[in-house]
A and B are shown apart, each in its own frame.
Chain A
């Protein structure tokens, strides 16, 4: 028997070692806070942050506001997904559609959409509408752009093969063009989820009376840096979970296509 290579154990030790410096930093932070070197007004101690997270959870405040935020981002994302998919299909599948849809969307895309907040407040007031509208707008573009590019990037030779074997335009779209555009569309979805969360953070700064953003603003008024950090961590966690969900969806939808990115299996 050959001796087992030392690589796995070394790799695991290295992976563990990567946790050392972050943990050390947190310990330093805790020590500095306890020694009075960092005022709680500047940044709460890690222990205080954990306590705040516990408090917010057991009182039900955090779950409630988290649900409000999730509902916002879900509503905005649903609208953005619908609009982006609809426009992407129209522009991707017909030349006339492209002429009508693509130019205005490419122009709008160059606007920094987060800068539209003042306009949205004037148009929609300060309720839920401008918040959801901002998320919807932000998520429309990545969906549209990637679906459009995906449709146009479908291998022409595969469409020809389907044509020779008697598929009409509908059949070609269903069996060749849409499945071919799917990987690109899913990249768009992943982007959209990220943009949606970013838009949520910005949108919730607009006079919210509920949601994670409201918790942050409220905590700011009471100088509760511990609560602010908890909320920021929740935002970060949302991003991680959403990305993992979309990746899982990708793996399911793209099974059987190992060489898909290379596009060589035709």
Chain B
């Protein structure tokens, strides 16, 4: 079905180390799935493989909705292009600037069209990166710890922004995160990866908008942390 992600038998290794071990994963159209796991659990390799940055092994089967867009942990803006040209990178056709402007307005940066990336704060730069991803109306949005490098306040604002944007755009989304709270706040499902395999697949059926104090939040948090090997006293 269009809009859905289907991954079968995906294995990857570097030398003797197995990073992904015959991994199967499905995402329904428009579903937002958080991918959790300790460092070295294969999260980033999975995302890079889906993004086409790492090769797909012959015996694996991968179906992805297109186009695909990604937000990295760092903004990765080209410092020699003004903001709107960064957003429009790789776009073709007429009125590219108008499309970039619309996307920037959505992330609250309409006034920064002609600014240079170096003049932006960390949060602003990451919002530009988000606009760059959304401007192409992606069928699949890959987020690789997109808010990990931001301060706590900015991160909270970004969570609200992403939740807002999901109401307008409905890409199937895979978000890699270290942050259990982030996963519970944003995702429909949390998948825990360990040793290259999925060890937990937990549906998060809380109502939106979600808050830390919601009933059920703490219980989910405990469950996920336990799966990640953290026991809270």
Contact = CB atoms under 8 A, between A and B. Distances in A.
Q: Do A and B come from one complex?
A: yes
Contacts, number: 66
A266 B74 contact: yes
A157 B118 contact: no
Contact of B78 (A160, A166, A175, A259): A175
B75 A266 contact: yes
Interface in B97-142: 116-119, 132, 136
B65 to A, nearest CB: 15
A252 to B, nearest CB: 13
Query: Chain B interface secondary structure, helix, strand, loop or mixed?
Result: loop
B74 to A, nearest CB: 6
A157 B144 CA distance: 13
Interface in B51-92: 51-53, 67-70, 72, 74-82, 89-90
Contacts of A254: 80
Contact of A179 (B53, B80, B136): B80
Interface centre among A158, A175, A266 (most CB of B within 10 A): A266
Query: Chain A interface secondary structure, helix, strand, loop or mixed?
Result: helix
Interface residues of B, number: 25
Given A171-B90, A256-B82, A257-B118, A166 B67 contact: yes
Interface centre among A163, A256, A258 (most CB of B within 10 A): A256
Interface in A151-165: 157-158, 160-165
Contacts of A165: 69, 89-90, 132, 136
Contacts of B52: 163-164
B97 to A, nearest CB: 16
Contact of B69 (A164, A175, A259): A164
Given A162-B89, A163-B53, A167-B90, A266 B76 contact: yes
A257 B116 contact: yes
A7 interface: no
B124 to A, nearest CB: 12
Contact of B117 (A179, A180, A182, A265): A265
A157 B116 contact: no
Interface residues of A, number: 24
A18 to B, nearest CB: 35
A167 B69 CA distance: 12
A260 interface: yes
A254 B67 CA distance: 33
Contacts of B67: 166
Contacts of B69: 164-165
Given A165-B132, A175-B89, A157 B82 contact: no
Contacts of B79: 256-257, 259-260, 265-266
Contacts of B76: 157-158, 160-161, 266
Given A158-B78, A161-B72, A179-B78, A256 B89 contact: no
Contacts of A160: 53, 76
A62 interface: no
A192 interface: no
Contacts of A257: 79-80, 116, 118
Interface of A: 157-158, 160-167, 171, 175-176, 179-180, 182, 254, 256-260, 265-266
16 contacts: A157-B76, A161-B70, A162-B78, A164-B53, A164-B69, A164-B70, A165-B132, A175-B81, A179-B78, A179-B80, A179-B81, A257-B79, A257-B80, A265-B77, A266-B75, A266-B79
Nearest first, the 6 closest Cβ-Cβ pairs linking A and B are A256-B116, A161-B76, A165-B90, A265-B118, A166-B90, A179-B80
Given A179-B80, A258-B116, 8 more contacts: A161-B70, A163-B53, A164-B53, A164-B69, A165-B132, A166-B67, A171-B90, A265-B118
